[in-house]
Chains A and B, each alone.
Chain A
Amino acid sequence: AQSVTQLDSQVPVFEEAPVELRCNYSSSVSVYLFWYVQYPNQGLQLLLKYLSGSTLVKGINGFEAEFNKSQTSFHLRKPSVHISDTAEYFCAVRSVDGADGLTFGKGTHLIIQP
């Protein structure tokens, strides 16, 4: 079984400032890692994924994340946020053998202040 911890339920940031959303996971098996974004009244949109290879992955909308196996972390970063980035962000994991669905963290609400 896996678990995902998103350390901050809410992160307020000024527009054009950098942001980091933290995610730590626990698993007894190898996992794939994902970040999804949910805008109000919408479904989840895939931001980026780590399946294998380079530990720094780039996603849509200028976001990137770094997989750190020793710290079991997959933090999401953006160098300069925009008001349109206001949304709920979910970190998720899934076992490599695919014998399960995604396990999500509780989400981080990113609030961009003008």
Chain B
Amino acid sequence: EDQVTQSPEALRLQEGESSSLNCSYTVSGLRGLFWYRQDPGKGPEFLFTLYSAGEEKEKERLKATLTKKESFLHITAPKPEDSATYLCAVIYGGATNKLIFGTGTLLAVQP
């Protein structure tokens, strides 16, 4: 079955404590992997798109990487304002625009 799994479900970090979030996928013909940030009660905010294994993207304290089976979102020296739910989604296969979303990782960064 085509699916996207994110781990851990929740993560609590101290300010400045770096860590990584994981997104593993089992789909055929990956066309793109997307990372989003979602704050409570708001729509997801687009962060990154990764298209092929080995690709990396960076934005401030966030760095996303992609392998053939998974993606990591590395958070370096996080701040409390980085607290949010981080969602991963993939688009794959033939002529379709459909995304499959993971259930997200809830990140809490304590001062």
Do A and B interact with each other, yes or no? no
